[in-house]
Amino acid sequence: MRLLLMSNGSAPGGEYLAHAMSTLRELLAGVDRIAFIAYAQLGLEEHTRVVAAAMAQLDVELVGVHRSHRPASIVEAADAVFVGGGNAFRLLAALHRYDLIDPIRAAVRDGAPYLGSSAGTNMACPSLRTTNDMPIVEPPTFAALNLVPFQINPHYPATEVMGRHLGETRDHRIAEFLEENDVPVLGLQEGSWLQVDHDRARLGGVAGARLFRREEAPVDLKVGADLSDLLTTLGTFDSPGRGCDDRGTR
Nearer to its own copies, 31 or 143 (CB): 143
Query: Which three-class secondary structure state does DSSP give residue 50?
Result: helix
Residues 6+ apart with CB under 8 A from 126: 143, 144, 146, 148, 149, 150, 151, 183, 235, 237
Q: Which amino acid is at 135?
A: P
Residues 77-96 that bind its own copies (CB under 8 A): 87, 90, 93-94
Distance CA 9, CA 84 (A): 8
Distance CA 230, CA 3 (A): 14
16 in contact with its own copies (CB under 8 A): no
Can you tell me which of 26, 32, 43, 200 binds its own copies, judged by CB under 8 A?
A: 43
* Angle ∠(205,87,68) on CA atoms, nearest 5: 100
Can you tell me which of 120, 157, 204, 235 binds its own copies, judged by CB under 8 A?
A: 157
19 in contact with its own copies (CB under 8 A): no
Give me the 159-198 binding string for its own copies, x by CB under 8 A, dash otherwise.
---xxxxxx--x--xx-xx-xxx--------x--------
Active-site residue, 165 included:
no
Can you tell me which of 113, 118, 121, 205 binds its own copies, judged by CB under 8 A?
A: 118
Nearer to its own copies, 13 or 248 (CB): 248
Residues 197-236 that bind its own copies (CB under 8 A): none
Active-site residue, 22 included:
no
Q: Which of 10, 155, 171, 192 is catalytic?
A: 155
The helix or strand, by DSSP H or E, that contains position 94, with its residue range, turns out to be helix 88-97
8 in contact with its own copies (CB under 8 A): yes
Distance CA 241, CA 250 (A): 6
Query: Which three-class secondary structure state does DSSP give residue 66?
Result: helix
Q: What's the half-sphere exposure (Cβ side, CA atoms, 13 Å) at 101?
A: 20
Query: Which three-class secondary structure state does DSSP give residue 120?
Result: helix
Judge residue 246's burial from the number of C-beta atoms within 10 Å of its C-beta, 0-12 exposed, 13-18 middle, 19 or more buried: exposed
Active-site residue, 155 included:
yes
46 in contact with its own copies (CB under 8 A): yes
15 in contact with its own copies (CB under 8 A): no
130 in contact with its own copies (CB under 8 A): yes
Residues forming contacts to its own copies in the complex (CB under 8 A) are 8, 39, 42-46, 64, 66-69, 71, 87, 90, 93-94, 97, 118, 127-138, 141-142, 154-157, 162-167, 170, 173-174, 176-177, 179-181, 190, 239-241, 244, 246-250
Positions annotated as catalytic residues are 118, 133, 155
